Structure 1
């Protein structure tokens, strides 16, 4: 790979950032006052979500959304979302700052609901469609949503609850008549999808949106306790919109190439993750609206269906969790399908083995994997790693994007020197205001504009971040810190291991023992002893798992793709303590 890069990098990282953020440059920055604090923001960023929505009219009859055999153009989407915005105001009395919840699968109606709320200054509240009826009702109560737009499955779950579990007025989408009762439907309000083009071509009601107005409440994954609602502004989202375009520009300058020109042909992205997650909403849907891309939706993730869609729809990119990319590359259909349209595969939301980017490079010559680091609280992207930088540092999530400042702190909040291991803090225009209706959690996670991520990292002299562990999940075995990602990467280097998770098992003497849960590939006969022998030359003895649990089924994950380690920890602890 080094020979392929030849004289790379031709420009240092510092010089690359200087070139790209200088006056009149594409990523020019300025410092403004936000809530009494100086924040560096992109001078050429969109002002707010409504500006993007209005600009989307220029894409006209381009296809915006594909779902199975349904297609929705930008024109049809604009008229449908605008029509719904008027009905929300006229029929439901939605005012600026009111909360409008969305609870459904990735149907074409999801973006219609989102943009209808966002363009009238309401706060869009995407709820986790995987949640139970009680989870959904909690989100409606906690956010104080006055209206909720829900699909048939979510409506049935809410209808199963006792009356009074929430006070939101419901609008049903794709719901059969026997569960709708008196609930109004989106079709009744704006007509069927087949008639969207005939809807009035008029703008939504004007609400004088300011960049620092509240725009979204996105609930965190909630792997421990109740989810918290991250309150994001229009500026947060606009900052992220620019952040996600930076990686390709940085790669071009680093290799000495000119900046890539805007594409003449429409780009197509496959979306295998939920719209209600920050990646699906902020980093896929909103950019597609801004740049005229086509989004191809999946009812449910299936690797063979994904490869068929890549071939049929000429998909250029896909953004999912690492396990999805592994499944694509190792599917028997990968060689049989025409995937030549792919320009790269990006992934995040969970730790990615360095082997994955090498696999992408080997199977897709001249193309790159991409990864990064972000959170709901940072409106998605805070660091990014791609192209030659990723090949050179496949174990890093990359350096900060220009809109973010990073620092590493100790438990007392003191800033640590370069190379030290500590907790990552993030500051920037993409960092949300705090948690909705939760001042205690806000005070614990946000300090003078800095967001405490809870993630343990180290950062090298050039600013590349290496994610080591979650602070709350880090193991301490006999006084020694054990970073799970290091062991998980070593496990994933084994050709028979498809997924891996390291968890702590309580131990009376050492406090915690290292436990490993691995999912093997089809047909593998891997044993626990073989796993240990694979790790022995790669890790210090105290990091070797005391218990190895081998499985063939997929490990439990949240909707955002994170492995639910709490569940695995409980299961492994029970097995370890069982007699015999």
Structure 2
């Protein structure tokens, strides 16, 4: 039965999509299927930037250390970069231009300039090694890469043919971006449309080498406007409840901008809603709390561990975090036990959870406020008005409510394919246009999606299927566990057995034997980890900030063999 909150949100969205309203939808054909698209959406990211930077010209936008820029100042800098890319580096419409740099105001201006010059913003993973960066450059066929010195040093001597141009962070944009700077208007910029190539982001590589997922402007703008619609819905709800938002919205940027969570719902959405972005070059829970207090941050999004680190930090009481009303998680499931802990630690805010993928431009499902507290194991309902969510079997046929199958999403925001990889692109979509997420899940009687596991990440122990997520949730229920991962290990008798590793929160101590004793009775015996290791540092992450299970599995399988 729909909750009171669901009913209120549905009524608001019903009104927002009506003819003549801001989020009116019209049918659009893609892959032979009719899908809803926003009638009033800008035709390209270049138009999107121009419209909203003009609308919010004098409003503060970027805070990066001592650098503070308004929307208007940011757009003027992007115009200079676009002119420089065209006039000095010969960028043409559709050229892939890579960004290999840490988060900064100049990263954002570079992204804007690439798009406005007609290029395809190719978001290289700033955590990659030199050879991994070079691989990303090669598969996207980048003609130009904008790199900060640290990434340029990594790329030195690697196998790629792109022109490498150094960009810097801090100080004025004209100084840090001097190598791609020209007088605005000194070069003719292209008139872009919805079908032009806009971005390439990289898949996490959990099943092999990364692939470059490319999107056109229609997909990225649609994904962005989907989040804008969700924000408008939330704002109207608060207003109806007599608690309208006050002051300028402000978000802390603690996730990589090359990751789709950082790019679409955080960075790109901010233009439309006039939101200030406060950038952190590197994650630190104490510094995050200081910035939330100093800049009056109202929205925080990060991987689940980030919110939890702040909630359990010994200095939590030293900071006033009352302005932050939303603590969102993306990139990985949030442990169920963390949801209530975050709510208790931040009584002025609510935990939120979004579900989307690189290939869907972050669009998928969302679980909000009281609904999330009531169903903390769910990623929420399909995001209206764009998302068509289906649970399909291996033949692509729809399953009934409650049955477990592959989670599939059909939306105008979906990516168009993997760059120069037709076979992988074909395998990613069903014949009727659904993207196969690779996640297994089911939809309950209220329309809420529950992720059970990765399709290819189930442990099969002696013929019994074991959900990694189920075992992880049991481990996370221990109050001293900050991070964990569960994976299959090879075994001669059972084929696979359960392996797990965990890291404890700061100041805590928990031995593997103590954790095993805690789990005993909470899981069926065949689900208990046969091997359990304590990690003394954060678990390795992929570019999308998901825990790198492939690396952990290989590492601990090797350790078993050596033992």
Q: TM-score under structure 1 normalisation?
A: 0.90
Q: Establish whether residue 491 from structure 1 lines up as the match of residue 475 from structure 2.
A: yes
In 1, are the aligned partners of 2:335 and 2:473 still within 8 Å (CA)? yes
Q: How far apart, in 2, do the equivalents of 1:244 and 1:203 lie?
A: 35
Q: How far apart, in 2, do the equivalents of 1:51 and 1:240 lie?
A: 15
Q: CA deviation at 1:175?
A: 8.9
Aligned counterparts, 1:107-256, within 5 A:
107-161=104-158, 165-174=159-168, 186-190=177-181, 200=184, 205-247=188-230
1:31 matched to which residue of 2? 27
Describe the shift of the 1:108–1:366 C-alpha distance in structure 2 as closer, same or farther (beyond 3 A). Answer: closer
Describe the shift of the 1:553–1:78 C-alpha distance in structure 2 as closer, same or farther (beyond 3 A). Answer: same
1:348 matched to which residue of 2? 330
Q: CA deviation at 1:394?
A: 0.7
Q: How far apart, in 1, do the equivalents of 2:56 and 2:95 lie?
A: 30
1:76 matched to which residue of 2? 73
Q: CA deviation at 1:393?
A: 0.7
2:83 matched to which residue of 1? 86
Q: How far apart, in 2, do the equivalents of 1:279 and 1:302 lie?
A: 19
Describe the shift of the 1:386–1:132 C-alpha distance in structure 2 as closer, same or farther (beyond 3 A). Answer: same
In 2, are the aligned partners of 1:221 and 1:559 still within 8 Å (CA)? yes
Q: CA deviation at 1:106?
A: 0.7
Q: How far apart, in 1, do the equivalents of 2:188 and 2:407 lie?
A: 41
Q: How far apart, in 2, do the equivalents of 1:77 and 1:13 lie?
A: 34
Q: CA deviation at 1:47?
A: 2.6
The equivalent position to 1:64 in structure 2, one of 61, 71, 94, is 61
Q: How far apart, in 1, do the equivalents of 2:397 and 2:111 lie?
A: 40
The equivalent position to 2:548 in structure 1, one of 564, 567, 570, is 564
Describe the shift of the 1:50–1:364 C-alpha distance in structure 2 as closer, same or farther (beyond 3 A). Answer: same
In 2, are the aligned partners of 1:243 and 1:382 still within 8 Å (CA)? no
Q: How far apart, in 2, do the equivalents of 1:254 and 1:74 lie?
A: 27
In 2, are the aligned partners of 1:223 and 1:564 still within 8 Å (CA)? yes
1:195 matched to which residue of 2? none
More divergent stretch after superposition (93-102 vs 435-444): 93-102
Structure 1: gaps (5+ residues): 177-183, 192-198
Q: Establish whether residue 458 from structure 1 lines up as the match of residue 419 from structure 2.
A: no
SS at match of 1:380: coil
SS at match of 2:515: helix
Q: Establish whether residue 280 from structure 1 lines up as the match of residue 280 from structure 2.
A: no
In 2, are the aligned partners of 1:220 and 1:230 still within 8 Å (CA)? yes
Aligned counterparts, 1:366-445, within 5 A:
366-402=348-384, 403-445=386-428
Q: How far apart, in 2, do the equivalents of 1:325 and 1:391 lie?
A: 15
1:180 matched to which residue of 2? none
More divergent stretch after superposition (424-433 vs 224-233): 224-233
Count how many residue pairs are aligned between Structure 1 and Structure 2.
Answer: 555
Q: How far apart, in 2, do the equivalents of 1:538 and 1:41 lie?
A: 46
Q: How far apart, in 1, do the equivalents of 2:127 and 2:299 lie?
A: 25
Q: How far apart, in 1, do the equivalents of 2:536 and 2:132 lie?
A: 29
Q: Establish whether residue 511 from structure 1 lines up as the match of residue 505 from structure 2.
A: no
Q: CA deviation at 1:354?
A: 1.6
The equivalent position to 2:527 in structure 1, one of 502, 527, 543, is 543
SS at match of 1:244: helix
In 1, are the aligned partners of 2:406 and 2:440 still within 8 Å (CA)? yes
More divergent stretch after superposition (400-409 vs 9-18): 9-18
In 1, are the aligned partners of 2:104 and 2:169 still within 8 Å (CA)? no
Q: How far apart, in 2, do the equivalents of 1:254 and 1:175 lie?
A: 39
In 1, are the aligned partners of 2:322 and 2:348 still within 8 Å (CA)? no
Describe the shift of the 1:35–1:570 C-alpha distance in structure 2 as closer, same or farther (beyond 3 A). Answer: closer
Q: CA deviation at 1:464?
A: 0.7
Structure 2: gaps (5+ residues): none
Q: CA deviation at 1:303?
A: 0.9
Describe the shift of the 1:30–1:150 C-alpha distance in structure 2 as closer, same or farther (beyond 3 A). Answer: same
In 2, are the aligned partners of 1:369 and 1:386 still within 8 Å (CA)? yes
SS at match of 1:91: helix
Q: How far apart, in 1, do the equivalents of 2:20 and 2:247 lie?
A: 26
Describe the shift of the 1:14–1:311 C-alpha distance in structure 2 as closer, same or farther (beyond 3 A). Answer: closer
Q: How far apart, in 2, do the equivalents of 1:86 and 1:471 lie?
A: 46
1:446 matched to which residue of 2? 429
Describe the shift of the 1:10–1:496 C-alpha distance in structure 2 as closer, same or farther (beyond 3 A). Answer: closer
Q: CA deviation at 1:76?
A: 2.2
